[in-house]
Amino acid sequence: MSTTPNKREETLGGYIVHNIPFPVETNPEALAWLKKMTPIQIEQPYQITYLHSYAQDSPWFAGLTNKKLLANQDDQTGYTYATPRGHDMYTGAETKWIDITERDAKVHAFTVCHFGSEEFLPETPFVLALVEFEGVNTLLLTRILGIDPMQASLDWIGMSVQPQFLRNSKLKPTDVYFTPVA
C-alpha cells in the first residue's frame, strides 16, 4: 500500500476568489472571449526577512546598545564626525572611534515634525534637532524629548541637552535621543 497522497491537502488560508467569469463552452470561439476579460487581481500579505549589515558602522550601534555615543576622528587632522564614518572625507584616512557620551551638547537647529514616516506617525508632533558637541565638527540629527513641540521657541537654540538611550536596543539610530539638561 502506497503512502503517497493522491490529492493535495487544501486549507482555507490564502486566497478565496468567487465568480471568476469563464465561458461554459471551451471551443476556440468561446475561449477567444478570454482576451477581453478584465485582469484578475489579488491582494496578498507579503513578508520578507531582510538581512542587513551595518558593516563598518557596527561599533556605533554596539555603543548605543551599551549606552555610549561614539564618534569618529581622523588622527591626522583631528576632524571629528558625530555620525559614523569609517574614513575621513578630506584625507581618506581611516578614522578612530571616540566616546562623546559625556561631552557638552547643545541644540544647533530644530524643527517640529507634524507628520512622519509610519514608524513615527503615532508620535507626531515631535522635535527633530541637529545637536552639536564640544570638539566635534559635524552635527547629529536626533529627536529631542522632554519639551512640548506645541510650544516651540527660538530659545531652544543653544539649549544644553544630554543623550538618553532606549533600555531595549532596536539597533536603530533612534536608540539614542536627547533631553534637556536639568
pLDDT at site 6: 78
| Phi then psi dihedrals of residue 87, to 5 deg | -135, 145
Per-residue pLDDT of the chain (182 residues; tens, 9 = 90+): 667 777 877 776 666 677 777 878 888 888 888 888 878 877 777 899 989 899 999 999 999 999 999 999 999 999 999 999 999 999 999 999 999 999 999 999 999 999 988 888 888 999 999 999 999 999 999 999 999 999 999 999 999 999 999 999 999 999 999 999 98
The rounded distance, in Å, linking the Cα atoms of 59 and 73 is 14
pLDDT at site 14: 67
The rounded distance, in Å, linking the Cα atoms of 134 and 105 is 6
pTM given for the model: 0.73
The rounded distance, in Å, linking the Cα atoms of 82 and 131 is 9
pLDDT at site 157: 98
Grid coordinates standing for 59? 561599533
pLDDT at site 107: 98
Q: Within 10 A of 60 (CB to CB), how many other CB atoms are there? A: 20
pLDDT at site 164: 97
Report, in angstroms and rounded to the nearest whole number, the Rg of the chain calculated over CA atoms.
28
